[in-house]
Structure 1
């Protein structure tokens, strides 16, 4: 009886070990970081990707309340870099604003992040239609964004970068993104509360520690 018990125990332990070893692990999402707007150093050990929609009120909150804390503690210190991908799902304004942001990005990465902040700072009510070409270009002019405004207008009207926006949306669907903002940290979706900086900080710290351990 004793041998039977021990034998059973060994089988159970081996089964647990096998389950741990052979259970498939969720693979990180593979981002083409080099093609995305980046805030911070490209060689930062932690890469944070935000899927966002310029018409989304929650994204506005993230840009104004959470992103500045990330910048101060992690991005400005070289520990993390932040990237942006479009998930324009709310309405036509979402896509038009994304076209404007891409038009700016392809002239200047630094100007993109200034424009990113401006779009959210000046975001009207979600039910209001506002993202016209004239409005989006005038916003850049009024804030003296260092870009070619005529080229920006042409790129919006001709939808020059619509394929990049479609790629962002496709990537979001493949990664099972359900809402904005959704964050990925080193390719893995952050499932905590994006508005809780303490939780987000803990996730970034874990990513930093994991990088040092490798």
Structure 2
């Protein structure tokens, strides 16, 4: 069955709200045993990609840069992306005040989907643009609670809805041809000693809280 972008929010919302400022610190070790790609998605072996531009929104000369490290299986990242990121975009990015940069940091919370969703999202970026990448990531987070059971169909359908080849994106989740790109981001986060995800930086300063009030206050202090 084709998933809807907000179908699973209610199911995981309570979990995400617990200890919201702490973020995700470690993983459950769970994951899918094998790929169950959608019917007709035999695309062959995808070519590995070693580098991609940083997924970014906002003008290069914006006075404030917000950088966020995320794990697609982290419920706190789901809360941030569905509740806080849209506020940052509408209030600051669209106004030209913030340049927003995304970094992958698979802890991993989930041994399969922390990595697989990241590779799927980079496949969308590679085949479309950064705007489409961010729209796709929102959709993945909104369906986060069902990734372990139906993840390949979810990323396929979300990509199709955005005009990107869903079979290629589902295959990217399975084969992880962007693993080197994701691992490079993870190393950047490790080098910064980030304490967990989401890790939010405003003009290079790591915030101790990812909630909207804390993020908006930090941005306003730089404007």
Scaled by the length of structure 1, the TM-score of the pair is 0.72
C-alpha contact 2:66 2:99 (8 A) present in aligned 1? yes
Aligned pair in 2 of structure 1 residues 198, 156: CA closer, same or farther (>3 Å)? Answer: closer
What is the match of residue 181 of structure 1?
Answer: 198
Q: Give me the whole-angstrom Cα distance separating, in 1, the residues matched to 2:81 and 2:168.
A: 26
SS, match of residue 204 in structure 1: helix
Are 1:165 and 2:182 matched, yes or no? Answer: yes
Structure in which a larger fraction of residues adopt helix:
1
- Give the Å deviation of 1:46: 1.0
What is the match of residue 216 of structure 2?
Answer: 201
Q: What stretches of structure 1 of length at least 5 have no aligned partner?
A: 1-33, 209-214
Which residue of the other structure, out of 107, 122, 126, is the alignment partner of 1:102?
122
Q: Give me the whole-angstrom Cα distance separating, in 1, the residues matched to 2:151 and 2:217.
A: 40
Aligned pair in 2 of structure 1 residues 134, 122: CA closer, same or farther (>3 Å)? Answer: closer
C-alpha contact 1:96 1:131 (8 A) present in aligned 2? no
C-alpha contact 1:194 1:200 (8 A) present in aligned 2? yes
1:79-136, CA deviations, whole angstroms, 9 ceiling, x for partnerless residues?
00211111111122110010100100112212101101101111106xx724643442
How many residue pairs are counted as aligned between the two chains?
169
What is the match of residue 46 of structure 1?
Answer: 64
Scaled by the length of structure 2, the TM-score of the pair is 0.69
- Which consecutive segments of 4 or more residues in structure 1 shift more than 4 A? none
- Give the Å deviation of 1:154: 4.0
1:112-169, CA deviations, whole angstroms, 9 ceiling, x for partnerless residues?
01101101111106xx72464344213322xx11212343244334322111100111
What is the match of residue 173 of structure 2?
Answer: 156
Q: Which has the higher contact order (CA 8 A, sep 6+)?
A: 2
Q: Counterparts in 2 of 1:16-31, with a 5 A limit?
A: none
C-alpha contact 2:115 2:176 (8 A) present in aligned 1? no
Between stretches 84-93 and 94-103, larger displacement belongs to: 84-93
SS, match of residue 220 in structure 2: helix
C-alpha contact 2:155 2:169 (8 A) present in aligned 1? no
Q: Give me the whole-angstrom Cα distance separating, in 1, the residues matched to 2:150 and 2:71.
A: 12
C-alpha contact 1:59 1:180 (8 A) present in aligned 2? yes
What is the match of residue 113 of structure 2?
Answer: 93
Q: Give me the whole-angstrom Cα distance separating, in 2, the residues matched to 1:132 and 1:199.
A: 32
Q: Give me the whole-angstrom Cα distance separating, in 1, the residues matched to 2:98 and 2:149.
A: 33
Q: What stretches of structure 2 of length at least 5 have no aligned partner?
A: 1-51
